[in-house]
Structures are given as C-alpha cells and as structure tokens.
C-alpha cells in the first residue's frame, strides 16, 4: 500500500507483507546467518503463527526463504511458537519450540534440519514423537513456553530452561536431557521473582567480566557472570539482571537482589520485546535480536498490510567500567552501509535554542554525538530530577539537550533524543537518557509517550549517544550502549526529502557544545531468495 510506504524502513529486517513478531532460533551455519521469526502468512495481525525464514551473509542484507515450519500437526496446529536453536558439539542442530496444540495446550516440540549439509537449511523435520514436553503438575497449560538454547553441564547433561508463572511469580523451570527427546524436570527453578507475572522468551547466557568477546552458551568458570532475561507478558518489556549461576543445583542468584529480573534493568526502554541472543562463532560474539512492535492501531496495520520489524542485531558485552550492566552495540556490519559523512566540531547550542545540522536528507543515518556542558555561572539550584517524564520541553538547569530526529523544517513533527542530567546532593550528576515521541507524528491514533531511564555517565566521560535513524525507527544508544531506547514513530511530514536533523538545548543554565560525525546510510538488500539458484548454493 503506497499510502504508508514511507513507514517502511530501508535497512531493518521486515517481511514483504503481513505480521511478524518474535525472532526465533537465530544461528550461524556454513557461512550463513539464519533468522526465523513468528509470522502470519495471511494477515497483518497476529495469528496462524508460522516460522518465517531468512538468511544473510552479514546480518544486514537478507534473503527470504520458504517457511521453515507451518502449523500442521495436532501439537502445533494453533501455532508454531517461539523457540531456540542449540548447536551440538558434533555440529548437529537441535530446534526446540513451543507448539500450541489443538486443545490450546502449550507443549515443547523438537525439530531438526532434514539435511545438515544444506547451507540454507531449507527443510525442517518435526520429531515424530512430539511433543517432547508437556506442562508439568502445577503449571497452567497456557503458561509454559519459549524454550531456551540448551547449555551443557559438568555432568555431561544438557539443560533447557522454560518460562512460566506460579502464584503471580515469574519462574523459569529447568530440565536436563541427554538426547533432547526425554527430559528430567529439576525440583528448583533456575530463578523466580514474585510479582513479575508470566515470563516469556527467557534467555540465559554467560558474559565475560573482562574481555571483548562473547561466550558460547555452555562456557562457564571463573571470570564469568550469567545474564538472565525475561520478557514480561504483563507489561511487554524485556528485563534482565546479571548474577551467578550455581551449577551444583542449577540455580541463578542476582548480584543485586534489589535489581533482580523485572525490578531493575531493561534491555531497551522503547518499543522492544521477545528478544533472543545467539553465539556467533565466526566473530566470537553474542548477538542479540529484538522485535520492534507497532504503536499504531490494528486497523492501520491492516490498511498498510504489514506490522513490525526487527532491530539491527546488537553485540552484547559486560560493562566492566560500571560492573552493573551490559553494553549493547549495533553489529559492526551495519557500518558497511555507510556512504558520505559530515563532521561538526564544537557546535555551541545556547539555552533554549535549536541548531539545524545541514546534512541533506535525514532519513537513513548513523549519528555519533558527544556533548559537553559549560556552566553559565548561574546559582546552583537543588532541583529534583524528574527523569524522562516531563519530556524534552521540561526545562531544568542542566538539561534536556540532544538531537531532534525525523523532524520537518518547521518542527511540526520531531522526535527528541536527549540527556537530562541533574546535580545530586553529593556534588555528582545523575543523568537520564530519554526519547520523547509525543510530537513524532501528526496522526492522531498513534500511541505516543516519553521513554527512557537513567544512564551512568562516569567522571571522565562526555555525554555520548549513537543513533541509527531509518525512516520510522530510531535506535538510540547512550554511553556506548549502557542504556538503549528504540523508537517506532509514524511521521507524516518529516518523510523522505523533508526529514531534517537538529540539535537542541532546553537547559536554562548551561551552553552545550556538541561534536558530531554523521553518516548517510545506504539501503540494505532484503529480497526473496532467487529460487532458481536455491539448489546451487555453496557454503
């Protein structure tokens, strides 16, 4: 539908048409990255869930393949739901996924590639004795889904964890297996957090405390923390915590109980859900996929004929400067889209002003921006930090300041991405990183709010952000990826050649000095695989 064509993106993964949700079973095999995804072949709203399938050499350019799995068995006829891949030491691939049965019971099923020597993994076989797991006693039949990638314990047995809910608490059940067809349920949960509700799409993996590489899922030992992530069904956010995994009884304990899973950090403070990581052996990194859900209405999604996107994949590393969070960063391959760049050195933005950055078209950008604040010598005020809530117009002594993206010349539409620091009583700073989407669209049936959270800014650091702008999406990374916000916006004026980029400073007591490097980004190649060439693909 041409009416909404400007809302399609140029380098984010999305199907040609219809509905997509969670990323499923991402993996690397014989030179190709595989992405499967929850897909409705028939409509732009959720339903008939099938596994879409696409492959890429570089995580940026994609080729759509025929569906990997469709709902065609009694144990998944209501949907081939979310699952994860495990690569065994001998190279075999095991896919575990949730099926919604003919009676709407959530069960876990096993599938594997028909031909492991096919780089495209075109054909998938469902294990004839599926399901391999059914809801155990005490677990509701509709609260038992999304098996993780398995990891190998010191006893030679694999572990898989599956999210659920018990008495309002989010829990993660643990099973042991040697063959992926028969399983033993452990007495303990991997972890449980009261009041957090149903845990969907649990993810569990090690991160190195010191080191710049990611770890394969079974790696354990000294110098390693484990990250536990859950997607909270009640509030539709992806929450995580870092902690210690005790192999003796397969339990996990958070470093800081006050910041336990669901009580502390989010992967992303914007529109983002049902994420999943995989280990990429090619570049020894852990790569995170996440689903960007819509904030317009179903009616509009049906009218435009499609809904939802995936983020640019992100590498995940432990932040050893703060010791309390991970760093997320767009995979390096996105840089292959870079065209010409423009530098701005020390642009001064006075209190209450806006400065246009003349870069031409501003719809496909990779922006690096550093900000320093210069006090105007006004009296210190001891103002409370309202955080992001008041939006970009909520003026205080030190902020907000940042960028106005996907804005039109008259600023009738704009999305401010900004920092809002406040002095603390001990003389330090507390900084929020925010995205104010309330003026991002003139369309009146779009759900708009201010998103964001605190971000640690260390003493020797400038305020720094990186933004990936792609027509109707902004992925914003503060301080090297400590705090991340994905914005899904629906401009009606700030489209194509009319989109502009500005600096703004709404602080009352500081000048802001901004230094930027901005690349125009090319579009990615995302097309159906040429089917006449499918049989000739070499690794």
Residue nearest to ligand DQQ (CB): 81
**33 vs 81, beta carbon nearer ligand DQQ:** 81
Interaction pattern, residues 215-254, with ligand DQQ; x per rule: CB under 6 A: ----------------x-----------------------
User: Distances in Å between the alpha carbon of 71 and those of 40, 78, 100?
Assistant: 11, 7, 9
Give the one residue of 11, 22, 307, 526 binding ligand DQQ; rule: CB under 6 A: 22
Q: Is 171 in the site for ligand DQQ (CB under 6 A)?
A: no
Q: Is 201 in the site for ligand DQQ (CB under 6 A)?
A: yes
249-284 in b/e burial notation, b at 16+ Cβ within 10 A? ebbbebeeeebbbbbbbbbbbbbbbbbbbbbbeeee
Token pair of 20, please? 């997509």
Shortest distance in whole angstroms from residue 145 CB to ligand DQQ: 5
Give the one residue of 274, 359, 367, 524 binding ligand DQQ; rule: CB under 6 A: 274
Shortest distance in whole angstroms from residue 111 CB to ligand DQQ: 15
Give the one residue of 145, 165, 420, 466 binding ligand DQQ; rule: CB under 6 A: 145
Q: Is 21 in the site for ligand DQQ (CB under 6 A)?
A: yes
Shortest distance in whole angstroms from residue 82 CB to ligand DQQ: 4
Q: Is 407 in the site for ligand DQQ (CB under 6 A)?
A: no
Give the one residue of 7, 9, 82, 440 binding ligand DQQ; rule: CB under 6 A: 82
Q: Is 465 in the site for ligand DQQ (CB under 6 A)?
A: no
Shortest distance in whole angstroms from residue 165 CB to ligand DQQ: 12
**189 vs 291, beta carbon nearer ligand DQQ:** 291
Widest CA span in the chain:
74
- Other Cβ atoms within 10 Å of 539 Cβ, number: 10
**275 vs 315, beta carbon nearer ligand DQQ:** 275
Q: Is 309 in the site for ligand DQQ (CB under 6 A)?
A: no
User: Distances in Å between the alpha carbon of 333 and those of 61, 281, 312, 524?
Assistant: 10, 15, 10, 11
Q: Is 472 in the site for ligand DQQ (CB under 6 A)?
A: no
Beta partners for 287? 278, 315
Closest residue by Cα to residue 261 from 281, 241, 238? 241
Q: Is 81 in the site for ligand DQQ (CB under 6 A)?
A: yes
Report d(CA 338, CA 333) in Å as an integer.
10
Token pair of 427, please? 């003389």
Q: Is 133 in the site for ligand DQQ (CB under 6 A)?
A: no
Contact 508, 397 (CB under 8 A): yes
Shortest distance in whole angstroms from residue 203 CB to ligand DQQ: 12
Report d(CA 34, CA 390) in Å as an integer.
42
Judged on CB neighbours under 10 Å (0-12, 13-18, 19+), 66 is middle
Shortest distance in whole angstroms from residue 450 CB to ligand DQQ: 24
Q: Which of 22, 268, 280, 301 is catalytic?
A: 22
Phi, psi (deg, nearest 5) at residue 373: -110, 140
HSE at residue 441, side-chain half, CA atoms within 13 A, is: 21
Q: Is 471 in the site for ligand DQQ (CB under 6 A)?
A: no
Residue 22 is a catalytic residue: yes
Contact 332, 424 (CB under 8 A): no
Q: Is 479 in the site for ligand DQQ (CB under 6 A)?
A: no
Q: Is 50 in the site for ligand DQQ (CB under 6 A)?
A: no
Contact 512, 505 (CB under 8 A): yes
Token pair of 29, please? 């095999």
Helix (H, G, I), strand (E, B) or coil at 187: coil
Give the one residue of 143, 200, 250, 470 binding ligand DQQ; rule: CB under 6 A: 200
**273 vs 401, beta carbon nearer ligand DQQ:** 273
- Residues with catalytic roles: 22
**Which chain residues interact with ligand DQQ by CB under 6 A?**
21-22, 38, 49, 81-82, 98, 145-146, 200-201, 231, 273-274
């Amino acid at each position: 539908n041409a009416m909404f064509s400007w809302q399609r993106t140029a380098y984010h993964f999305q199907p040609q048409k219809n509905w997509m949700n969670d990323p499923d079973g991402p993996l690397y095999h014989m030179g190709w990255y595989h992405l499967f995804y929850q897909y409705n072949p028939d409509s732009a709203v959720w339903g008939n869930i099938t596994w879409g399938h696409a492959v890429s050499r570089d995580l940026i350019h994609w080729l759509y393949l025929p569906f990997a799995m469709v709902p065609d068995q009694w144990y998944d006829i209501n949907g081939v739901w979310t699952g994860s891949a495990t690569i065994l030491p001998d190279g075999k691939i095991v896919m575990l996924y949730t099926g919604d049965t003919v009676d709407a019971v959530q069960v876990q099923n096993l599938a594997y590639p028909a031909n492991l020597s096919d780089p495209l993994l075109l054909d998938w076989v469902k294990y004839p004795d599926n399901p391999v797991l059914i809801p155990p006693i005490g677990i509701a039949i509709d609260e038992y889904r999304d098996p993780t990638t398995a990891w190998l314990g010191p006893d030679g047995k694999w572990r898989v964890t599956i999210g659920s809910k018990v008495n309002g608490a989010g829990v993660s059940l643990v099973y042991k297996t040697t063959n992926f067809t028969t399983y033993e349920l452990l007495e303990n949960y991997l972890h449980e957090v009261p009041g957090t509700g149903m845990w969907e799409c649990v993810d569990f993996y090690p991160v190195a405390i010191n080191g710049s590489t990611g770890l394969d899922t079974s790696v354990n030992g000294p110098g390693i923390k484990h990250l536990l992530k859950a997607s909270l069904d009640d509030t539709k956010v992806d929450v995580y915590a870092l902690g210690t995994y005790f192999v003796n009884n397969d339990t996990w304990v958070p470093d800081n109980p006050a910041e336990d899973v669901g009580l502390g950090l989010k992967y992303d403070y914007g529109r983002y859900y049902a994420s999943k990581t995989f280990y990429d052996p090619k570049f020894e990194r852990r790569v995170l996929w996440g689903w960007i859900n819509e904030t317009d209405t179903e009616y509009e999604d049906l009218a435009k004929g499609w809904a939802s996107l995936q983020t640019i994949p992100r590498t995940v590393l432990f932040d050893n400067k703060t010791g309390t969070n991970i760093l997320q960063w767009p995979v390096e391959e996105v840089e292959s889209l870079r065209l010409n760049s423009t530098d701005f050195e020390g642009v001064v933005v006075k209190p209450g002003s806006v400065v246009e950055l003349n870069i031409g078209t501003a719809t496909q950008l990779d922006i690096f921006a550093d900000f320093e604040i210069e006090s105007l010598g006004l009296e210190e005020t001891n103002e409370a930090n309202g955080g992001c809530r008041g939006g970009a117009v909520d003026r205080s002594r030190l902020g907000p300041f940042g960028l106005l993206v996907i804005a039109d010349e008259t600023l009738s539409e704009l999305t401010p991405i900004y920092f809002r620091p406040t002095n603390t009583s001990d003389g330090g700073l507390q900084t929020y990183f925010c995205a104010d989407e309330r003026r991002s669209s003139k369309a009146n049936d779009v759900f708009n709010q201010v998103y964001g959270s605190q971000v640690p800014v260390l003493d020797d650091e400038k305020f720094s952000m990186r933004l990936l702008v792609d027509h109707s999406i902004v992925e914003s990374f503060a301080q090297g990826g400590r705090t991340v916000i994905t914005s899904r916006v629906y401009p009606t004026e700030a489209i194509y050649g009319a989109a502009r980029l500005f600096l703004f400073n709404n602080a009352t007591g500081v000048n802001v000095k901004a230094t930027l490097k901005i690349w125009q980004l090319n579009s990615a190649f995302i097309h159906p695989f040429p089917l006449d060439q499918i049989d000739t693909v070499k690794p």
